[in-house]
Structure 1
Amino acid sequence: MNGLLVGRSVELAKLVRVLGSAAEGMAGVALVGGDAGIGKTRLVTELVAQAREQGFNVLVGQCAELGDALPYLPLADALRGAEPAVREAAAAHPMLGQLLPGRESAPSTGLTQQRLFGSLLGLLADVQPVLFVIEDLHWADRSTRDLLVFLSRMVQNERVCVAGTYRTDDIHRRHPLRSVLAELKRLPTVTNVDLGPLGSGEISDYVTTMGEVGAHDLGLIVSRADGNPFYAEELFAAMAEGDSLPDGLASLLMSRVEVLSEAGQRVLRAAAVAGRRVEDDLLREVSGLPLAEFEEAVREIVSRGLLKIKGNGYTFRHALLQEAVYTDLLPGERTRLHGAFARLLTSPAELAHHHLAGHDLAGALAASAEAGREAERLGAPAEAHSHYNQALSLWERVRDAAALAGESRSELAFRSAVMAADSGDNHRAIIQLRALPPTSEVSERLAYYLYETDDQPNAIAAAERAVEAADDQAALARALATYARTLLWSPRHHEAEGLTTRALEIARAAGARDAEVGALLSLATYVELLGDVTRALKLVETASAEASGDLAMDLRARFNHARIHYEQGLLDQAAEMADEGIRMAFDTGLKWSTYGTDLRFLRFLIHYVAGEWDEAEAVAAGFGARVGTLPEAILSSFALFIEVARDLPAVEGRLSWLSPFWDNELAVYMSRGLAAEHALWHGDPAAALEHVHAAIAPLAQGESGLQRLAAIGLWALAELGTTEGADELRARARLAVDFAPAGERGHLGPEGLAWAARVEAEWHRVHGRLSVELWREVVSAFDFGFVYEVARARWRLAEALLAAGDREAAQAEWELAREVAGKLRAAPLEAALLEFGRRARFGGVSAGDGGLTGREVEVLRLVAEGLTNREIAERLFIAQKTVSVHVSNILGKLEVSTRTQAAAAARRRGLLT
């Protein structure tokens, strides 16, 4: 198994506690159970390493699948592999000496169990502290089971820790270890540790330690491994070699199936054809067994841990076990079983699967089309798209396909495209729509999705075709609303108001609420760009007032409603509307649609701006770092706000996964802009400037997002001590404010104006001028509720005040900034403020504070709260050993010897403000 221990900190902590108690003279036993390959050996290997570090003598013995042929095999194995001093001590005990190499033929004086156990107690007393590990107890012989019971009951005040591992999936109801475990687990000295499957994030982390793996392959491995590290390793190796299910893994899985009775194997084969889960009555019917024989077969299967009872049916313990049994079926057997299930089922999705696997293409097409419509009704667009595509793939191979599907090929393909977009795949939707005849409906959707992928010229052309081809009033209203939307950021933006006005009139007359909402939202965006935010908000409120009949349009309305409030600094109202939209997106299956994604990152930003960083970090935890699609990449980029500001370990890994998406304007703007900040906090302004230039390059002149990037770029130039390029950055940032003719480039909002103010202040800083007035303006501009940026601006204001000779005011601003940075756990900002405070020799901070890093300050704060190293590691998402190193450094730098003294020293010196 791979050398890295992933996702087992809680279980390891339990074992370490037993070990710690043993070190203090309170013996204990730990029983570690879990499925084959789940990581039992890896976990006890970590325990062994820690025991050796603490001076324990370690004995490790292995049981073997030999029944009772070799009694005390793990004890003999442990003694033979022990350190020389332990072997010498064992040789002094004649009963144990007979288990050592070269002693097997020695005359026996009667290897009675009582005498052997007594000798072992004597040995343990001689060489304590001892960790005795017995692996694979499910194969233990009778004598070894007795030995385990003896040690659990008799070793009490010795410095001894016993750890045993066993496979839970092998402990069927008649297994001899079952009763022993039940007895031992009632003892107060025995700690039970159950290893369940790793979570999908943990297994993803584990797989990526093995080597390079693409997002698609990673997803397949994670879904098939079912949280089992060994299975993940085997699948990774198989994929690297171009195989599917590795022979070695298949053999391992099937070896557990082959011990079943013929009836048991028959039932399990039928269950494998059903899939991962099957109902009891359906399985009985397909198996064809009499009721009594069926129930006995199922009882046998369940007792061996191959199937688990779930509700009124059964599930395979592992997806790979189902796959292995299914793969082992003969072709004809597989077809017949699929046919049997198809005759009994009514669910369209299940019917489609069994018809296809049973080579009934006509039945598969009809069922796939119906399954798509059912998924669409249930709010599952990704599944609907998949079902529709399955039907389309069979179209040319089946006679009377339209009759079977219940609609024409074009109608089905149009549905598939819309479902692709609703599940977040606009590019797939565009490809499918372009392959269809250009009706008004097709062209309008094509224009809509092209606009969302920033292909403005083609979006306008498609919208024009939609208007020209409209053959009814509702279609014309939709086409006009979308046409206006495509023109909003073009030189023809003046036409938008007239088009939306006309669309509104036609939509209301035709009763097309979705077209009306689309026109209202396009008009709201247009008047917002003109600076009339009040009117824009009223239009959006009207659009959000009642359902439009188009869920994606309703999400768009809620996003714009929340966004306008957010951009005006009205964070509470923005949060309320964003929460409503997110609930709707999840309830209707549209969480990966354009606005389902947009609402989630907007909610994250509201938390971030409002200083609700623990909540923001919790939301960001759902933005997976290992991304495979553009919507996932954009969402993931937003997590960098909190990860960079707190200097979390996830930053580098997230950036590496995002880099393949840096050809997308939004993805590069978000992730490279934050990569620049990360580089600045880590002392690499040259890399920061490179990120800034790359992020600015695709942006149009005058775009409001330029201000933030320009401010970061100017910060980097100031650190580099050069003015080269500063004027260009300032000029590009000012276009959105100064260059807009008649204000038509839009109203920047409080945040945009604040970043514009910071650009000016940073530009002067690049030129060596620390302007108190300008930095006061930045503080004031961000004071609409942007907690973190106010603190960062106060840092620069304090520098300017100190340079101007106003030391008292500088320290006041510095203290306010430090208080906020501490509450937010913004480690890089805290470190910068501490360094500035040391240079300025403000009260409470001096060179004598030892120069703690930002991370050390963060650890110190948690130490002062009374948290243990393990709790700190969990809070900060770092290794416990890393915490131990930080604590040692802190004690050294503060020149103290205990954690309590460190906390007291930190309070005296103002490090916990």
Structure 2
Amino acid sequence: MGSAGDILAPRFVGRDREAATLREALARSEPVVLLIEGEAGIGKTRLVQEVLRSDPRTRLLVSCPPYSQPFTLAAVVDALRAAVDDVRRLSLSPLTGALRPVFPEWTGHLPPSPEPLDDSAAARHRLFRALAELIDAVGVSLLVVEDAQWADPATIDLLLYLQTRPVAKLSLLITCRTPDLARLRLVPGTIRIRLDGLTVGETATLVSSMLAEPPVSEAFAGFLRAGTDGVPLALEETVRLMHARADLTRRDGAWVRRHLDQIMVPARIRDGVLERLAHLDGPARAVVRAAAVVGEPVTVDGLVAITGLARELAYDGVTSALGVQLLEERGAGVAFRHALVRQAVYGEIPAHERRVAHRTAGELLEASDPDRFAQLAEHFRAARDLPRWRRYAEQAADAALAAGDETTAVGYLFDLAVGAGLNGAELARISAKITYSAVVGEDRYEALIGCLRRALDACGSEPSEVRGALRFQLARALGNSGDFAQSRRELELAVPDLAHDRTTSMRAMLMLGLPHGMRWPVARHLGWLRRARSLADLDDPAEGTRFLVDHTVGLLGLGEPSGWRQLRLVPDAVTDPRQRDDLARGNINLSDAAMLWGRHRVARRMLDRAAALAEGRGYVRIMDLIRLNRLRLDWHIGAWDGLADRAAELAGNQDIPANTRVEALLVALWLDHAAGRELTRLDEAVRGVWQFAPTSLTAEVAALSALAPLTAGSPDEAVRITDPALEVIRTKQLWLWATELVPVRVAALVAAGRHDEASELTAAFARGIPARHARSSEAAVATCAAFVAEGNGDLERAGTAFLDAARAWNRLPRPYAGLLMRERAARCALAAGRTEAALAQLADVFDRLAAMDARFDATRVLHVLTEYGVKRSRPWWGGRKGYGDQLSPRELEVVRLVAEGRSNREVAEALFRSPHTVSSQLSSALRKLGLSSRHEIPAAAREAGLL
């Protein structure tokens, strides 16, 4: 029996197939894009190092550090700065003058700066072209980007540009953690290599290589594999910890654990890192901690300055840290081998020591490179040096905004607003810079709202201008979080204090003119829109665009036909980036209004325009809103294939504010109702629409809630459920919101024998809608008239009215509503004795409902057909009708991804579906292909030509 000797570096194990794929791809004559994906510590960097060890081409290594706020293009800039000895030796065109702001040390050697561009997107494109020229001039043929999950949005966009430029001669090799792949946009044909954990046998080989090759026992290897999931870094760190604890021994010629059943492998790499750190002496620990504070390669001189150690002690400390492989040499300095190691060390540094070290590191950087705003902000924030944090963080935000990187800028601005102890005026100024289109996460809204409220409470002695500015910013935050009622209250209070600021006053009045959020009558909202018009400066292009968009949205939302005439004045496209953002947001709101009016083709056009305007801007929230509105539009027009999965994904997206998320939930519930599924989340939707203040969704949820008791034969209960929403509509006199509600309520009144009330409500609805404009409301009025006629026993008139309603719904188009009206018309014909024509119509309705997967309604119709002896077979509800034994398009997508070796969860992530849906589609595909196991899919798919 013996103890373990020195621990060796692990051998390269278990990646032969992936390495061969990489080498084969890199050997091609044309450029390639390669992506290596996998979790932290899985060996992405080691694979790249091993493959490139013998690759002769000139490469540029871009390493993306895990900064809390990644700053614009810094990783690429730092890599190029290190790669270029003397920029004067390069043959560069005048275009590279655009690089002066990012390479200030080269200012004297680069061409003159080109003329500034007002359009940030155009400026970014020019910068990308200049960076590409510099990369080419250096002679780089392979760009290696490590840890792309930490890259800032601008770097991600640069990678896409480098992949797609027409004369691309550059190959790209990118590593990224699997959960962050959604941020990357890759060209078709990208070769993706997924790294998984090592097998038990590979685990044994790796561990044995660290222990001078004697094998480890099978039980020990299995134990390690189970505790680490075969992640190489976790395995390596665990073995090092066990070695430090003298917990390894040889027994019968194999390595085993000394107490296999008693000592557990640490659950996290952190334990291994800190155990090794504890075995270092004081100076070495100080060096490692200082390196953790810096967070990037640091020289010994820098470590000396931060730690206060004598140079000899610092050198000895670095040597010790290198010896235990906590640090590794990186250029002229040292850095951590892995981000996880750095995080583990950083987390155990005492708070006071951490603050002092960050201050020193920040001051060193400030003296040597004062333009690195992001790093300086991070250091001085951690040091709690508020004045310098404020200065550098705002400069970092302004630099990001100038580069068109609003997402990064918003991160800095939010942090400043909620944590930098700003006074009221400063807080209002910083909040005004926040682009809400780039904001995600409800917690951010809550934090900012709380901060603005506290500032308002404390600004009693501040000038009225400060109070007005703070209230307006609070109203913006409240409105964007979904609390429209509180937003409107703050706006009314703010307007008197905004008299000095005509533009902000106009914006406040436009917001007060929007119909949602208050139980005001339409006339009151219109009054605010008129006041806003009196302040608008239509000669200012940017202000004119904002006014036209928001004013038109307000008019249409209030049911004013004049909004359609004004819509003609709204431009289709603009060049100014501020106008483009206003126009993108406005087109989304206009698509909302168009759907409310039943103008679905207009809504589709608005959404396409919004998507084009937002393209490349990186606005996650804007894209989420576009997806939400497309979801609702597809529900209306009957494009239901895959709609349930999309609705579930959006309804569960916690980055979308709750009041907006409920729109997706409502679509999911409508689909559940049509399919006859239990509405398990209906109460959640009801709470969601009533949480803050009424909107058009309030009436829609009430209509859906009333259908169950109406169907179950409790019409009075259905009427009661619709009372609150109808009261809102009557108070506001906004009958445009009643399209979904009133037909359900009229049907309930008729079923309850309250015919006069049904007739009166139908008449009021007809009077309240704008004639010849609100097509969905007109279809709803026709539906109500048909219910009233049916309730009065006039079957001929009712049948005709239901057919008229069906035609009105189909013109929108809203085919599901049209089919339900055709069903009612056929039932009237049956009752009137026109059996043959009625049954033919019901058979067609059944086929169409079944094709839409409206199982509840199709089953109801099938019962009638069966009662009259009409043969119609119930469709197989496990999949879409019409594909027979052939794979549906969605099943084919699943088969292709499974053939690549992906798990159900990975397929679900790639296709934005739930794992349950993917499982069902895979089961269906296996049945159709005659297979018994997913493992048979690759060969069978190739044989069938599916790949």
Q: Give the letter aligned to residue 775 of structure 1.
A: F
| 3-state SS in 2 of match to 1:825 | coil
- Compute the displacement of 1:643 (Å): 4.1
Match of 1:344 among 356, 365, 390: 365
- Compute the displacement of 1:410 (Å): 0.7
Bigger relative contact order, structure 1 or 2, given CA contacts below 8 A and separation 6+? 2
Match of 1:415 among 430, 437, 448: 430
1:818 aligns with 2:835: no
1:503 aligns with 2:535: yes
CA distance in 2: counterparts of 1:860 and 1:302, whole angstroms: 62
Cα gap change, 1:491 to 1:36, in 2 (>3 Å): same
Match of 2:631 among 604, 622, 625: 604
Structure 1, unmatched stretches of 5+, are: 1-32, 38-131, 152-161, 177-246, 396-407, 891-897, 899-913
| 3-state SS in 2 of match to 1:800 | helix
| 3-state SS in 1 of match to 2:833 | coil
Cα gap change, 1:882 to 1:265, in 2 (>3 Å): same
Give the match for residue 535 of structure 1. Answer: 565
* Residues 849-907 of structure 1: CA deviation (Å, up to 9, x unaligned): 6xx8x845769977775979x989989957599969x99xx9xxxxxxx9xxxxxxxxx
Give the match for residue 779 of structure 1. Answer: 806
CA distance in 1: counterparts of 2:632 and 2:853, whole angstroms: 17
Give the match for residue 326 of structure 1. Answer: 346
1:711 aligns with 2:743: yes
Cα gap change, 1:349 to 1:699, in 2 (>3 Å): farther
Paired residues, what number?
643
* Residues 537-567 of structure 1: CA deviation (Å, up to 9, x unaligned): 313x248656583666434432354345545
Q: Give the letter aligned to residue 606 of structure 1.
A: L
- Counterparts of 1:58-207 in structure 2, within 5 Å, are 166=230, 168-172=232-236
The 8 Å contact of residues 517 and 553 in structure 1, kept in 2 or not, is answered as yes
* Residues 138-173 of structure 1: CA deviation (Å, up to 9, x unaligned): 98999996879999xxxxxxxxxx999745444339
| 3-state SS in 1 of match to 2:641 | helix
| 3-state SS in 2 of match to 1:705 | helix
- Compute the displacement of 1:780 (Å): 0.5
- Compute the displacement of 1:519 (Å): 5.1
| 3-state SS in 2 of match to 1:623 | helix
The 8 Å contact of residues 794 and 816 in structure 1, kept in 2 or not, is answered as no
Give the match for residue 557 of structure 1. Answer: 586
CA distance in 1: counterparts of 2:799 and 2:300, whole angstroms: 78
CA distance in 1: counterparts of 2:813 and 2:330, whole angstroms: 53
CA distance in 2: counterparts of 1:284 and 1:862, whole angstroms: 73
1:491 aligns with 2:523: yes
* Residues 320-352 of structure 1: CA deviation (Å, up to 9, x unaligned): x76654332234542344235423375444433
CA distance in 1: counterparts of 2:200 and 2:743, whole angstroms: 59
Match of 1:801 among 829, 836, 840: 829
Give the match for residue 833 of structure 1. Answer: 861
Cα gap change, 1:533 to 1:459, in 2 (>3 Å): closer
Q: Give the letter aligned to residue 253 of structure 1.
A: R
Cα gap change, 1:467 to 1:694, in 2 (>3 Å): closer
CA distance in 1: counterparts of 2:384 and 2:781, whole angstroms: 65
Cα gap change, 1:608 to 1:444, in 2 (>3 Å): same
Give the match for residue 518 of structure 1. Answer: 547
Q: Give the letter aligned to residue 258 of structure 1.
A: E
- Compute the displacement of 1:498 (Å): 5.4
Give the match for residue 117 of structure 1. Answer: none
| 3-state SS in 1 of match to 2:846 | helix
Cα gap change, 1:262 to 1:542, in 2 (>3 Å): same
1:652 aligns with 2:672: no
The 8 Å contact of residues 382 and 420 in structure 1, kept in 2 or not, is answered as yes
- Compute the displacement of 1:775 (Å): 1.3
* Residues 361-397 of structure 1: CA deviation (Å, up to 9, x unaligned): 332233344344455553237524422314542x4xx
CA distance in 2: counterparts of 1:681 and 1:865, whole angstroms: 36
- Compute the displacement of 1:781 (Å): 0.9
Cα gap change, 1:715 to 1:164, in 2 (>3 Å): farther
1:470 aligns with 2:499: yes
The 8 Å contact of residues 443 and 465 in structure 1, kept in 2 or not, is answered as yes
TM-score (norm 2): 0.54
Q: Give the letter aligned to residue 362 of structure 1.
A: P
CA distance in 1: counterparts of 2:663 and 2:419, whole angstroms: 32
Cα gap change, 1:508 to 1:817, in 2 (>3 Å): same
* Residues 254-291 of structure 1: CA deviation (Å, up to 9, x unaligned): 145424674997776456546xxx44458995599769
| 3-state SS in 2 of match to 1:258 | helix
* Residues 652-684 of structure 1: CA deviation (Å, up to 9, x unaligned): 358548736632323644555445557878999
Cα gap change, 1:286 to 1:471, in 2 (>3 Å): same
- Counterparts of 1:219-298 in structure 2, within 5 Å, are 253-255=270-272, 257-259=274-276, 262=280, 269=289, 272-273=292-293, 278-280=295-297, 286=303, 297=322
What is the aligned-residue RMSD (CA, Å)? 5.9
Cα gap change, 1:387 to 1:446, in 2 (>3 Å): closer
* Residues 180-228 of structure 1: CA deviation (Å, up to 9, x unaligned): xxxxxxxxxxxxxxxxxxxxxxxxxxxxxxxxxxxxxxxxxxxxxxxxx
CA distance in 2: counterparts of 1:308 and 1:647, whole angstroms: 61
Cα gap change, 1:258 to 1:684, in 2 (>3 Å): farther
The 8 Å contact of residues 666 and 701 in structure 2, kept in 1 or not, is answered as yes
The 8 Å contact of residues 431 and 473 in structure 2, kept in 1 or not, is answered as no
- Compute the displacement of 1:823 (Å): 3.4
Cα gap change, 1:580 to 1:256, in 2 (>3 Å): same
* Residues 726-764 of structure 1: CA deviation (Å, up to 9, x unaligned): 765664565342247xx5xx7662112222222333455
- Compute the displacement of 1:573 (Å): 4.3
The 8 Å contact of residues 775 and 797 in structure 1, kept in 2 or not, is answered as yes
CA distance in 2: counterparts of 1:133 and 1:355, whole angstroms: 46
1:357 aligns with 2:382: yes
CA distance in 1: counterparts of 2:598 and 2:685, whole angstroms: 32
The 8 Å contact of residues 648 and 665 in structure 2, kept in 1 or not, is answered as no
| 3-state SS in 2 of match to 1:419 | coil
Give the match for residue 134 of structure 2. Answer: none
- Compute the displacement of 1:575 (Å): 2.0
Cα gap change, 1:712 to 1:410, in 2 (>3 Å): same
* Residues 84-105 of structure 1: CA deviation (Å, up to 9, x unaligned): xxxxxxxxxxxxxxxxxxxxxx
CA distance in 2: counterparts of 1:608 and 1:682, whole angstroms: 25
CA distance in 2: counterparts of 1:758 and 1:315, whole angstroms: 70
Structure 2, unmatched stretches of 5+, are: 1-37, 43-198, 241-263, 308-313, 899-903, 933-947
The 8 Å contact of residues 562 and 573 in structure 1, kept in 2 or not, is answered as yes
Q: Which moved more, 1:775-784 or 1:755-764?
A: 755-764
Cα gap change, 1:882 to 1:600, in 2 (>3 Å): closer
- Compute the displacement of 1:838 (Å): 2.4
The 8 Å contact of residues 597 and 635 in structure 1, kept in 2 or not, is answered as no
- Compute the displacement of 1:530 (Å): 3.9
* Residues 693-730 of structure 1: CA deviation (Å, up to 9, x unaligned): 45545444443222312333455678xxx516676566
Q: Give the letter aligned to residue 832 of structure 1.
A: R
The 8 Å contact of residues 788 and 821 in structure 1, kept in 2 or not, is answered as yes
Q: Which moved more, 1:512-521 or 1:261-270?
A: 261-270
Q: Which moved more, 1:795-804 or 1:261-270?
A: 261-270
Match of 2:406 among 365, 372, 379: 379
Give the match for residue 658 of structure 2. Answer: 630
Cα gap change, 1:254 to 1:773, in 2 (>3 Å): same
